Structures are given as structure tokens and as C-alpha cells.
Amino acid sequence: MRQPGREESSVSAELVGVRVLIITSNTGVERDELVVPRDQLRARGAHVTHAAMEAIDVQTYRHDLIASEPVRPDMALSEADPEDFDVVVIPGGTVNADKLRINAEARELVRSTIAAGRPIAAICHGAWLLVDAAVVTGKRLTAYPSLRTDLINAGAAWADKPVVRSDAEGWTLITSRNPDDLPDFVDAITAEFRVRTS
């Protein structure tokens, strides 16, 4: 029985030492795709940093259309050094992904992360950034269904599954389709680091 006045810790130790970077624009971010991985990976012991294109509030949305609460990022994207992180997570939201895909810093961060052999995890429209970073050729992945043709045209193999892990050319890509897949998405990121540290 819990003692009055004592907080029980909900943080596990399975991801202690793992450094996660979540990157977004400052508007159009699908709220659950930002907040759920951030909070659940922290609850599993990871150190999670959120970098946005600018170090000002990020406007989130639900289902791309309903404005939700703003989220304060930890830093600007220009301050994020890929050497400081073990995995990069890219949430969706149509506007968010469309802004990230034309941002040179975001594209270079993805390429630098891959060059270092570190995993990338993208959900929903987040895969658009991977297309513009020119890193999906030969990869098998999933995303929001409307991205299917874009991904195939960029040289990827499409799969309609809750989560797809592709491990080729020295780096791992984890992808999911939409907010309903978040439990599988977070579990797949967690499993990646259980494998690496076991």
C-alpha cells in the first residue's frame, strides 16, 4: 500500500543511458506523435531532448486539424549535435513534416545520424523528411498511406504494418503509420536498444 505523501517512481531502467532526440518544426506537429514517445521513452529511463526549428513554442494538433496545447522544446534544431544522441525520432503531422523536409538543418541531421550508424525512427508523415534527405532507397518502411507513392518513387519498399524495422547499409530505420501505432512504435525503439546493449 502506498504511503501518503510518498511518490512512487514510474521510471524504469530499461533505457537508462540512451539519448533520444525528437525533432519537429514549430507548427503542425501531431501532438500524440510528439508527446507519447517523449513521455514513454522518458518513463523507460531514456534522456529525451526535443529540438524544434526555433527555440519557441511548438503548436501541436490532433488529427492534423484540431489545435492542441503548445509544447516548449528543449533547444533549437541548430543547437542539436547528432553526436550527442543515440537515436533520432521524427513525429508526423502534415505541416510539420512538410516544413522539416525543406529544412537544410533537419536533412543534414538525418544524414549525419545515419553516417554515424545510429537509428532513425519516423512515424506518419515524418517519413517525408527521409525522402528529401535521400536516405530511403533500398529500405522497407511504412508511413501514413498517402506517402506510399512518394516512398516507392524514392526507391523504398512499402509495407502496410503497424511498425516496420529495416536494417541495411549499417543503420536501422523504424517506421510506423499513424497515432494508433504508437505503442508498437515506442516498443520498437525500446527493443532496438535492448538488442544493442544486451
Question: Is 50 among the catalytic positions?
Answer: no
Best CA proximity match to 21, nearest among 144, 129, 139, 118? 118
Distances (CA, A) of 115 to 15, 44, 72, 171, 174: 23, 27, 29, 8, 16
**53: CB partners within 8 A, 6+ apart:** 24, 25, 26, 76, 77, 99, 100, 103, 105, 106
For the chain, give me the number of helices (H) and strands (E)? 6, 12
Residues forming beta bridges with residue 50, ordered by sequence position: 22
Q: Which of 47, 50, 63, 125 is catalytic?
A: 125
Distances (CA, A) of 97 to 9, 16, 25, 114, 122: 34, 29, 8, 19, 10
Best CA proximity match to 12, nearest among 38, 49, 48, 43? 43
Positions marked catalytic: 125
